[in-house]
A and B are shown apart, each in its own frame.
Chain A
Amino acid sequence: LRRCLISVDRSLIEKSIPEVKRVLQTKDTFRNVTILSTLENLKSIKPVDVCCVTSHLLTFYRDRVFKDHQETSLEVMRQISSIANSFLYMQKTLEQCQVHNQCQCSQEATNATRTILDNYDQLEASSAALKSLGELDIFLTWIDENHQETSTA
């Protein structure tokens, strides 16, 4: 069964994310709470579950994070919308995989996503959204690392 792999828009990683991260991480004062960064959680995802978790997290960002975030800076808003657009593009790619039955969801994958959503719900929506946007570097790094031909089982 060929693996479902997506690629991340380079300008996203090289420009948009660093700018959004620099601004939003400074505003995130809840340092003892993370949304994605329970690394044991993300690092434990098996290659076969990568597609499902990626799809769930792209949906999480689209339906929760981008909606809950209140932004005052036009420049940051512009960067976030370009991130949102590229997430939509990645999701379209994953939908092709789902059509070809390459995006199975194991219990472990579902649990991992559940943990992330529970982390999100621990905080008030705008704080949780701010923190999730500040953790985009973790999410994009995880996608970059796990959507490569060579990422081993």
Chain B
Amino acid sequence: AVPCVSGGLPKPTNITFLSINMKNVLHWNPPEGLRGVEVTYTVQYFIYGQKQWLGASECRSISRTYCDLSAETSDYEHQYYAKVKAIWETKCSEWAETRRFYPFLETQVGPPKVALTAGEKSISIVLTAPKKWQRHPNDDTVSMQQIYSSLKYNVFLYNTKSRRMWSQCIANSTLELSWLEPNTLYCVHVESFVPGPPRLTLPSQKQCISTLEDQMSALKV
């Protein structure tokens, strides 16, 4: 790479890892005051306890403001730093660094897959834990449940007729709700939850299903 004068540009800002199911993407904002200037960026990362900074091969002289470091940070029990600098012609900024990143404690666990089946006065919910990021699509799938044995789910149920919300935290992957109103539209969304340091949660898409008509009243008609 062409040597540049360090400090000739302001640093990128708000550099942080956005991590979901161990897909670890570094994000930053462009340096302030350089609107309209074609800035490029170079990223390096550091494995805590190792000896030196390493270049991120896919993120050298890039113009986008994010860099997928999932492969470089795939050992989720290690801790990492990352840094980025801005380059423009012969000038470059000093490095902007993240704080120490610990994927095992910081990754957001995505929502589970939700399957709903309705009965007359019941809804059965079957949840499938989200998958860990994979380097290649044909790699063996690892469920986030395998990584976090204490993974739990917050299930939210909304009765569209009475407009009342109800929620329950469950540890296993099935839930039978059996005291519902017949012929009523219910909506469900679910969040994954790992006991421990606070993490951002990502709710599942809202899914709605109607309980069946009450057979007894159907016969009376």
A77 within 8 A of B: no
Q: Tell me whether A18 and B198 are in contact in the complex, defined as CB-CB below 8 angstroms, given that A37-B79, A141-B104, A150-B149 are known contacts.
A: yes
What sequence of 0s and 1s flags, for each residue 22-37 of chain A, a beta carbon within 8 Å of any chain B beta carbon?
Answer: 1001100001111001
Verify B196–A13 contact, CB threshold 8 A: yes
Verify B81–A13 contact, CB threshold 8 A: no
Most buried by A among B46, B48, B52, B198: B48
Q: Whole-angstrom distance from the CB of B65 to the nearest CB of chain A?
A: 23
CA distance A32 to B79 in the complex (A): 11
> Contact residue range for chain B?
20 to 34
CA distance A31 to B100 in the complex (A): 9
Verify A39–B197 contact, CB threshold 8 A: no
Which of A17, A31, A137, A148 is the one whose CB lies under 8 Å from B81? A31
CA distance A134 to B49 in the complex (A): 13
What sequence of 0s and 1s flags, for each residue 126-170 of chain B, a beta carbon within 8 Å of any chain A beta carbon?
Answer: 000000000000000000000001100000000000000000000
Q: Whole-angstrom distance from the CB of A149 to the nearest CB of chain B?
A: 10
Verify A18–B46 contact, CB threshold 8 A: no
Q: Which residues of B contact A138 (CB under 8 A)?
A: 79, 102
CA distance A26 to B49 in the complex (A): 15
Which of B48, B150, B196, B197 is the one whose CB lies under 8 Å from A31? B48
Please name the residue on chain B nearest to A36 by beta carbon. B49
Verify B102–A10 contact, CB threshold 8 A: no
B77 within 8 A of A: yes
Which of A14, A26, A32, A137 is the one whose CB lies under 8 Å from B198? A14
B195 within 8 A of A: yes
Dominant secondary structure of chain B at its interface with chain A: loop
CA distance A26 to B104 in the complex (A): 19
Q: Which residues of A contact B49 (CB under 8 A)?
A: 31-34, 37-38
Verify B50–A32 contact, CB threshold 8 A: yes
Within 8 A of A (CB), among B177-198: 195-198
A2 within 8 A of B: no
Q: List residues of A whose CB falls within 8 A of some B CB.
A: 10, 13-14, 17-18, 21-22, 25-26, 31-34, 37-39, 43, 134, 137-138, 141, 144, 148, 150
**Complex A-B: 17 CB contacts under 8 Å:** A13-B195, A13-B196, A14-B197, A14-B198, A18-B197, A26-B99, A31-B46, A31-B49, A32-B49, A34-B48, A34-B49, A39-B77, A39-B78, A43-B77, A137-B105, A137-B197, A141-B196
Q: List residues of B whose CB falls within 8 A of some A CB.
A: 46, 48-52, 77-79, 81, 99-100, 102, 104-105, 149-150, 195-198
Q: 4 closest Cβ contacts across the A-B interface?
A: A34-B49, A25-B100, A18-B197, A37-B49
